Amino acid sequence: MPEFTAILETALYVDDMDRATAFYEDILQLVPLMKAQRLCAYNVNDANVLLLFVRGGTLAPVDTGNGIIPPHNGIGPLHMAFSCTHDMLGEWREHLESQGVEIESETRWKRGGTSMYFRDPDGNLLEIAATPGLWPGF
């Protein structure tokens, strides 16, 4: 059986791309790889890509000229997690609070990790997880 090497992309869906990109760039300091009206792609630590799509904007196939991207969409508040070191979690908390971002919850896991939860302007649940200590091996 072939193995995966990683999850390359994670997608969230937003109602207002300008509002969303302001949050992800100004608050979370993510660097865009590309920006368009229906899609914005962010570099996450040179290891992953976070995609933001306008909700409902990907319901039709997209012809890239080299193939078709099938339709997709997300409805309701979705979830994704960023990871950081245990030492950085406090700095993230201070940074988010200084930017007016409400920390909705914090969870300490049996394996030793800690998760901090907050929402983006579209209601998506974001998590910053201090790892290792959440999942076996993570």
How many domains does the structure of the chain reveal? 2
At 24-48, the pLDDT tens digits run: 999 999 999 999 988 999 999 999 9
- Residues 35 and 82 occupy one common structural domain: no
Nearest Cα neighbor of 25 from 7, 40, 12, 37 is: 40
pLDDT at 37: 85
- Residues 52 and 13 occupy one common structural domain: yes
- Within a domain: 40: yes
- Residues 93 and 134 occupy one common structural domain: yes
CATH of the domain at 36: 3.30.720.120
Judged against a pLDDT cut of 90, whether residue 3 lies above it is answered with: no
- Residues 18 and 52 occupy one common structural domain: yes
Instruction: Give Cα 99 distance to the centre of its chain.
Output: 18
- Within a domain: 64: no
pLDDT at 6: 87
What is the domain extent for residue 20? 7-59
When pLDDT is averaged across residues 12-33 and rounded to a whole number, the result is 97
CATH of the domain at 104: 3.10.180.10
